Chain A
Amino acid sequence: MATKTPDTTSHGDLTTHHHQFDVVIVGAGGAGMRAAIEAGPHAKTAVISKLYPTRSHTGAAQGGMAAALANIEEDSWEWHTFDTVKGGDYLVDQDAAEILAKEAIDAVIDLENMGLPFNRTPDGKIDQRRFGGHTRDHGKAPVRRSCYAADRTGHMILQTLFQNCVKLGIEFYNEFYVLDLIMVDEPGAKGKKKAQQAAGVVAYELATGDIHVFHAKSVVFATGGFGKIYKTTSNAHTLTGDGVGIIWRKGIPLEDMEFFQFHPTGLAGLGILLTEGARGEGAILRNASGERFMERYAPTIKDLAPRDIIARCMVQEVQEGRGGGPNKDYVFLDCTHLGAEVLETKLPDITEFARTYLGVDPVHEPVPVMPTAHYAMGGIPTNIKAEVLSDNDTVVKGLYAAGECACVSVHGSNRLGTNSLLDINVFGKRAGRYSVEYAKKAKFAPLPDDPAKEVREMIERARSADGVERLASLRKELQEEMDRNAQVFRTDESLRSVAKTIHSLREKYKNIGIHDRGKRFNTDLLEAIELGFLLDIAEVVVASALERKESRGGHMRDDYPDRNDEKYLVHTMAYLTGDATSANVEDHITIDWKPVVITNYPPMERKY
C-alpha cells in the first residue's frame, strides 16, 4: 500500500505520525468509496477505515437499489419520490427525496458502467423487481423498481466500488480506527457563537498501536450505522456508531435518532437478514395458523407494505398469541411456492442462511422470522450537499457526511427497502464532489499544538483499565435492555427504564478492566472504546424517543399511538449540553426541533 513516510513525534511509548491530505474520508463502505471515486481524481485523497474496505457492511445488503429505470414497466422518478416521502411517514425532506429519486437513474448507470453485474432482462437490460412500499402511480400497485444482482446487491456494489478505487489508485489506511475529529476556530469568525471548522482526524493504527494525525481541508464521515446498540440485529459486530459518536462528542447535534428501522425478516432469534426481495419475488408472511396476516393490515400491497408497518404487525401477531414455534414467539416467511429455481438463482444467499443457521430449507418449509434491528434513519444532520450542520441550518466548514451515519433526510421516520444502497451512491457521490470543491478553494486550517492529545489520553486510559467490570457484560446488558424497552414498541416508562440502565452502565464503565495491555492488534482495547460510543448513542436514541410523544414510522409509542402533525411534523435535533455521566438524561441532552422541507406532498394518512 502506498503510504507516504510522514513526520513522526513521540510521547512516552506512543508514536504519532503526521499526514496531510486535501480530502480525508472516514469509512470505506459504499458511501465512503463512492465519495473517494468522485474525489480521488481531483484532490489528494485518503480513505481511513476500521476494517479492510471489502469487510464493510454495505456488503451484507441483499435485495437491490431503487431507480425508476422503467426497464420492465412504466415508472417515474416522481412516483419514486412520492413513495419515499410516504414511506417515511412525511418526515422526509422532500427536496432531498427528489434528488435521491432523480439521481438514482444515473447512479445505477454509473455502477453498471463501472462493471457491476446486475441481473438482466431477456433483452439484456438491467432487471428490476418489486420491493416494499415502491408503487406505481402513487400507491396503486407494486412496481418493479429495484435493480439487483441476485440477493447480493450490496456485495456487488461494495466489490465494484473497491475495484474502481483500485483502478484509480485511491490511498487506503486499512484497520485505522478514527477516534477524534479535529475542530478549530474558523479564522475571522464573528458573531456571538464562535464557529468552528473541521481540520482533520486522529486515528489509532490497530496493527501497531501508533497514532496518526490526518490534517485535511475536507473531512467526510461515512462511518455507517450503530445497530449494535441492540442485541437482535442484522448489523455487524463492528457497527458501534463510532463516527456518529465522535460527532456527538464534538457538540454537533444528531437528528431523528429515535427512528431506528426493524427489518421484518430476521432469522428468528439470530437477527440475520433475509431480504425483502424474497417478498418482492412473491414470498408470504404467515402466522401459526398459516394465515396471510398482512392481508388484514395492508389490503392493497399486503406483504409489500413498508418495513415499519410489517414489523409492528408481526409483533402484534405474536403478542396476540398467533406466533409459531413452541414459545409462539415468531412468524413464518413462506417461500415454498416460489420453487427451487427462483430460490437458487434469485435468492441463493438467504436460502443458504436459513439452511446453515436454522437448519430450515426454504424450498420445503417456511422460515421462522422476527424483526431485527437494521438501519438508523437518523444521524449526523446534513444538507443536500452533504455538508454537516451545527444547528438547523449552519454549515460546519470542511465537514461532510453521507450514508447511514448521515441524516439528510431522505428516509424520514422509515426508510424504504433499496433506498439505502441508493442513498450511499447518490449522497456518497455528492459528498465526494462538494468536499473536493471546498478543498480546491480552501487553505489548510492551522492545527492545534498537540492535536492527538485527547486520543492519546483515551488510549492510555483504556489500555491501563484494570477495574472489576467486564466490558462484555456491560455491553450485553445495554443490548438486552434496548431490545426489551426501546425496540418496535416504546412507552415513556420503558424508555425511562433504559435511560436509568444507561446511567448505571456508565458508572460501571468507569470501572472496567481489560486484559490486553499490548500495542499490536489490541482488539480488547478497541471493544472498550466502542462500548463508550454505544452507550452515548443509545442514550441519544432514548432521549430523542422520550421527547417525541407521538407514533410515526419506525417510532411507535404505545402511550401516544397516533401521528401528531400539529406538534411533531418536525425533525428531532438532540444536543449534548452537559456532563454525559449525570444521572438525569435531561441534564445533559437538550432536544430541539427543525422544520421538515415540504414541496409537493402535504401529509396524508398513510394507508397501503
Chain B
Amino acid sequence: MATQTSNPSAEIAEIPSFTVTFIVRRFDPENDAEPYWQDFDVEMYSTDRVLDGLHKIKWDIDGTLSFRRSCAHGICGSDAMRINGRNRLACKTLIKDLDISQPIYIEAIKGLPLEKDLIVDMEPFFESYRQVQPFLIASSKPDKERLQSPEDRARFDDTTKCILCAACTSSCPVFWTDGQYFGPAAIVNAHRFIFDSRDEGAQVRLDILNDKEGVWRCRTTFNCTEACPRGIEVTKAIAEVKQAVLRGRP
C-alpha cells in the first residue's frame, strides 16, 4: 500500500526544517485585563501554512491558544487574521511567502469586538450582511429554471466568490473608526444581487446603500481588494454600486 505523508515536498527535496518565531497577540477575558504579545518558536517547513504553525503551538506548546479554523484550504472563511499587519487567511498563507528572518506577527482582525486571542465577535459583521437583503428577490414563480445568458451571468461572477471571512471589512480604515459603516463585504454581497439579471430588488438595495453609512463612506483605499483571499475586486464592485446608485438602476 502506498503510504502518504503530510509533507511530501519536504521529503522529496529534503527541505530542512527551520525555526520560525511567531509573536501572537493574546487575550483571555477571564484572566487578562489587556491583550499582550507572546513569542513562540516553532519548527516549520517552507511549504507549511501559517495555520500549521498555529496548530503546532496549540497542539504541542500551549493548548489555550484559541482561533477559528475549519477547511484549511481557503474556502470556509474561518481563519481570517492579521499576519504581519495584513489581513489574510492563515490556511492560505505559506511560510515560504513570508520573510522568516523576522518574527511573524499574528493578531485578530480589527474593528470587531475581541473575544479571545484570535477570535472576534462576528455578529456585527453578519448583521450588516443581513441588512443589504442578501437573497434573490424575484416575483415570478417559474416551474423551470429562469433563463440567464452567459454574459448576464458573468456580470456578477466575481462577487459570488465571497466566503464571508471578513478580511475585507476588517481591513477597511473607515470601518475601524465607524463600526456603523456597512463595510466592503456587505456591499459585495449586495452587488452580487444588484447585477443579477434575475433579481428585482436592486432599487431597495441601492436605497439602503445610498444611506450615510452606505457606499459613500468608501474612500477607495483598496485595502479590501488587497485583503480578499478570493481575489475579488472589491473596490471595483463598490465603485459599480456607487455608479448604479447615481444612475438609479443597475
Residues of A at the B interface (CB closer than 8 Å) are: 1, 51-52, 54-57, 59-60, 108-109, 112-115, 117-126, 149-150, 152, 155-156, 159, 163-164, 166-167, 207, 231-232, 236-238, 268-272, 315, 318-319, 323, 325-327, 329-330, 349, 352-353, 356-359, 368, 370, 470-472, 483-484, 487-489, 514-516, 518-524
Contact = CB atoms under 8 A, between A and B. Distances in A.
Chain B interface main SS type: loop
B70 A113 contact: no
Given A166-B130, A272-B73, A520 B1 contact: no
B8 A237 contact: no
A119 B76 contact: no
Interface string B135-158: 110100111111111100100110
B77 A515 contact: no
A523 B94 CA distance: 24
Nearest to A494: B1
B1 A1 contact: no
B129 to A, nearest CB: 8
Interface residues of B, number: 75
Given A323-B2, A488-B1, A236 B72 contact: yes
Nearest to A524: B63
A120 B146 contact: no
Contact of A524 (B64, B145, B160, B231): B64
A523 B70 CA distance: 12
Contacts of A357: 47, 73, 94
A59 B146 contact: no
Contact of A115 (B69, B122, B135): B135
Nearest to A489: B1
B141 to A, nearest CB: 8
Contacts of A319: 1-2
Given A149-B160, A326-B12, A518-B30, A59 B76 contact: yes
A524 B9 CA distance: 30
A520 B196 contact: no
Given A51-B78, A55-B78, A357-B73, A124 B147 contact: yes
Contacts of B123: 1
A329 B196 contact: no
B11 interface: yes
B70 A484 contact: no
Nearest to B64: A516
Contacts of B94: 356-357
Nearest to A231: B6
19 contacts: A54-B164, A57-B76, A60-B75, A118-B145, A122-B150, A152-B160, A156-B160, A163-B136, A166-B129, A231-B6, A269-B8, A270-B6, A356-B92, A370-B2, A470-B59, A483-B4, A514-B63, A523-B66, A524-B58
B166 to A, nearest CB: 11
A155 B148 CA distance: 20
Most buried by A among B4, B116, B147: B4
B134 A166 contact: yes
B135 A515 contact: no
A317 to B, nearest CB: 9
B34 interface: no
A349 B160 CA distance: 13
Interface in B82-99: 92, 94
Contacts of B245: none
Contacts of A370: 2, 4
Chain B CB within 10 Å, residue with most, of A113, A166, A323, A359: A113
B119 interface: yes
Contacts of A318: 2
